RNA sequence: CCGCCCGUAGCUCAACCGGAUAGAGCACCGGCCUUCUAAGCCGGGGGUUAGGGGUUCGAGUCCCUUCGGGCGGGCCA
């Protein structure tokens, strides 16, 4: 049973509160770590929060609370400071016991208790019309790290990839490959205005002509080489590009559990069924030869066309059908990770789902929208244009920068913030690369433990009473903050917090490493320090694992 | 014109349902390798948190507004 000081103090305060102000006994009790160490290890603003309700001076309330606080063996001091903060100072043994807790928990340290309901995270969802670019990379990094984070926090997570394999874009792709196979190049005046111009189209065409077979995670198809067989070209191109994407994702450490195809929603009648329900529920009307959905009933600023004059559905209709399907598959919690350039779909999809009257909650599904990635190379912005074919692929990045650094760079920023990916900077294997800083801490630890060459399992029971320096206690405090950090990052869908935490943890370790030796003569001191060292390695590993970044034993 | 996101040190970014003196890295200056990896550490300078107003014990954080940047607002996806 691990010791959680925050929980412990919270209980003490709750008891004090119950006796001091019984009618406020249900008030929220917030405990936080003060920035300034002289303010103790934990602080509560409870007295200030209660001031209004109790119509009393916060400091007075604080005094009553402190007086009513049950005794605790883990506390050495409680004082009142500032406007009415209650500051708690823990005993050294209370601070260091996290080391034993971590060594006992191992890879499970930071893991939350199992939650009810299963979560689905949909991300990347790139259409198979070309290689994945940096934007997809950000989606892959954020989405996958979010999944790892949610899993760590106790959720059962399904990773899903959805793509359009049948629409106008695929027709365009098919035509582009067909033309290439017939020897027409984008420079030719006959090349369609919106045709795909990238060199990869030529690769697809060549492979088709060579009657190659391709296998991806969800597709397989053998080309017949017949340039007039558009259907075969379409199948082949989709399978080929899906395979390319799979290879990139695999190299990026991302794997999906489920692939969903837009075409299946049509062939299985799910689109038709959704439309019929919307009509039956009375949320549609005809105007200008089209069928409209009254999305303004659900917060949209204008109604949207569902069925075009030509009879085809607009893109959000299959989206609605798809999400109904997700709901019917039992996912009470669904998070869609997408680029912010698609944020206009959020309102429409939710409106469509509400109009289905299927008992779906209003805010379902949830969205994590990442802002755009701007790529810099040689100090200049690299324009990303799929049709022009001049863009930075995820594969390029992984090959040039490495999987670890690429993942780290793409996930270390708040998804809401635009991201400048400076290729030259990320490529440089220098101190400017923060991922190395973290990995280096891990490698250093491995090196020390290797030189000690003892049985790591024995450290779990080490006597920690010799720990107590400022740096050691700061490191212990950082280690103790890990579970709470996971909880917060999972709650806020903010994997970048893990990246920031690991940097801080590495900094605490490097600082301690440089000030004290671990492999000292005194056996008790050595055991205690090695235990702290091992616990730090465990936290680094667990954190790096959430980011999908490797933890090298040596560098 | 409307909607969403962003604006924090020279640069790139943190800051846990609003907390105490806003923190790191890079860059710059000065120190530390006969001792566990110097991809490291220690010290220093650097800020009106874009501007203004409001809410309250307390605001980078919430509300209003102005400015600046990005993305959307197709019977495209």
ipTM confidence: 0.94
Are A278 and A354 spatial neighbours (Cβ–Cβ below 8 Å)? Answer: no
Report the share of chain A in percent with pLDDT over 70. Answer: 97
Are A348 and A316 spatial neighbours (Cβ–Cβ below 8 Å)? Answer: yes
Å separating the CA of residue A522 from the C1' of nucleotide B24: 35
Å separating the CA of residue A301 from the C1' of nucleotide B2: 9
- Among 3.20.20.210, 3.10.20.30, 1.10.730.10, 2.130.10.10, what is the CATH number of A96-114+431-547? 1.10.730.10
Nucleotide nearest to A51 (CA to C1'): B57
Is A336 a residue whose pLDDT tops 70? yes
Torsion over CA: A382, A387, A388, A394 (sign): positive
Instruction: Report the residue count for chain A.
Output: 555
Structural domain spans, chain A: 5-90, 96-114+431-547
Strand A31-32 to strand A42-44: parallel, antiparallel, or no bridges (unpaired)? antiparallel
Å separating the CA of residue A57 from the C1' of nucleotide B53: 29
CA distance A95 to A78: 15
Residue A23: pLDDT band (50, 70, 90) is confident
Are A542 and A484 spatial neighbours (Cβ–Cβ below 8 Å)? Answer: no
Secondary structure class of A36 (helix, strand, coil): coil
Q: Which residue is nearest to nucleotide B35 (CA to C1')?
A: A517
| Token duo for residue A226 | 């017949």
Q: Between vectors from CA A375 to CA A137 and to CA A337, what angle results, nearest 5°?
A: 30
Q: Which residue is nearest to nucleotide B16 (CA to C1')?
A: A488
Å separating the CA of residue A38 from the C1' of nucleotide B35: 34
Q: Between vectors from CA A469 to CA A463 and to CA A474, what angle results, nearest 5°?
A: 95
CA distance A40 to A548: 35
Nucleotide nearest to A443 (CA to C1'): B37
pLDDT score at A408: 93
What value does the mean pLDDT of chain A take? 91
Strand B nucleotides in reach of protein CB atoms, 7 A cut-off = 2-7, 12-17, 19-27, 35-42, 56-58, 69-77
Which residues lie below 8 Å from residue A361, measured CB to CB, with a gap of 6+?
Answer: none
pLDDT (tens digit per residue) in A437-479? 999 999 999 999 999 999 999 999 999 999 999 899 999 999 9
A5-90 maps to which CATH number? 3.30.1360.70
**Partners of A435 in beta bridges:** none
pLDDT (tens digit per residue) in A337-394? 999 999 989 999 999 999 999 999 988 999 999 998 988 877 777 765 554 555 678 9
CA distance A58 to A55: 9
**Residue A344: count of CB within 10 angstroms of its CB:** 12
Which residues lie below 8 Å from residue A56, measured CB to CB, with a gap of 6+?
Answer: A50
pLDDT score at A151: 95
| DSSP for residue A456 | G
Nucleotide nearest to A492 (CA to C1'): B16
CA distance A169 to A163: 11
CA distance A438 to A280: 57
Which residues lie below 8 Å from residue A521, measured CB to CB, with a gap of 6+?
Answer: none
The predicted model scores a pTM of 0.94
């Amino acid at each position: 049973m691990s010791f959680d000081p925050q929980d412990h103090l919270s209980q003490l305060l709750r008891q004090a509160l119950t006796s001091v102000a019984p009618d406020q006994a249900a008030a929220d009790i917030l405990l936080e770590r003060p920035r300034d160490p002289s303010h103790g290890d934990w602080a509560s603003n409870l007295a200030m929060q209660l001031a209004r309700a109790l119509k009393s001076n916060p400091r007075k309330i604080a005094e009553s609370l402190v007086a009513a606080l049950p005794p605790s063996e883990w506390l050495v001091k409680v004082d009142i400071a500032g406007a009415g903060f209650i500051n708690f100072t823990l005993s050294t043994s209370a601070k260091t016991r996290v080391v034993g807790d971590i060594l006992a928990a191992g890879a499970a340290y930071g893991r939350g208790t199992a939650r009810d309901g299963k979560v689905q995270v949909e991300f990347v969802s790139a259409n198979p019309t070309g290689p994945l670019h940096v934007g997809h990379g950000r989606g892959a990094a954020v989405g996958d790290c979010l999944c790892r984070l949610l899993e760590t926090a106790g959720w059962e997570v399904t990773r899903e990839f959805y793509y359009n394999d049948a629409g106008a874009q695929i027709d365009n792709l098919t035509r582009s490959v067909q033309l290439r196979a017939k020897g027409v190049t984008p420079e030719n005046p006959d090349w369609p205005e919106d045709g795909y111009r990238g060199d990869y189209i030529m690769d697809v065409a060549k492979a088709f002509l060579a009657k190659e077979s391709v296998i991806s995670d969800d597709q397989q198809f053998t080309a017949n080489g017949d340039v007039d067989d558009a259907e075969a070209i379409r199948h082949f191109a989709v399978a080929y590009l899906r395979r390319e994407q799979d290879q990139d994702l695999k190299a990026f450490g991302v794997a999906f559990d489920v692939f969903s195809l837009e075409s299946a929603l049509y062939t299985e009648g799910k689109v038709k069924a959704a439309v019929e329900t919307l009509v039956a529920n009375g949320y549609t009307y005809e105007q200008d030869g089209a069928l409209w959905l009254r999305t303004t009933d659900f917060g949209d600023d204008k109604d949207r066309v569902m069925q075009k004059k030509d009879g085809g559905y607009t893109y959000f209709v299959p989206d609605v059908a798809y999400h109904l399907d997700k709901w019917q598959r039992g996912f009470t919690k669904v998070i869609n990770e997408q680029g912010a350039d698609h944020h206009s779909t959020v309102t429409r999809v939710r409106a469509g789902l509400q109009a289905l009257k299927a008992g779906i909650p209003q805010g379902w599904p949830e969205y994590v929208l990442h802002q755009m990635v701007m790529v810099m190379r040689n100090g200049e912005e690299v324009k990303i244009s799929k049709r022009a074919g001049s863009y930075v692929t995820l594969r390029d990045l992984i090959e040039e920068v490495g999987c670890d650094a690429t993942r780290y760079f793409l996930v270390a920023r708040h998804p809401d913030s635009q991201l400048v990916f400076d290729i030259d900077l990320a490529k440089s294997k220098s101190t400017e690369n923060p991922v190395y800083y973290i990995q280096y801490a891990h490698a250093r630890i491995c090196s020390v433990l290797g030189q000690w060459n003892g049985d790591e399992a024995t450290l779990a029971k080490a006597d920690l009473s010799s720990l107590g320096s400022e740096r050691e206690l700061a490191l212990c405090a950082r280690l103790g903050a890990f579970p709470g950090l996971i909880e917060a990052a999972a709650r806020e869908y903010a994997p970048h917090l893990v990246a920031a935490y690991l940097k801080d943890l590495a900094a605490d370790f490097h600082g301690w490493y440089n000030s004290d030796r671990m492999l000292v003569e005194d056996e008790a001191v050595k055991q205690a320090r090695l235990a702290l060292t091992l616990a730090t390695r465990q936290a680094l590993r667990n954190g790096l694992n959430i980011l999908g970044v490797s933890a090298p034993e040596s560098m």
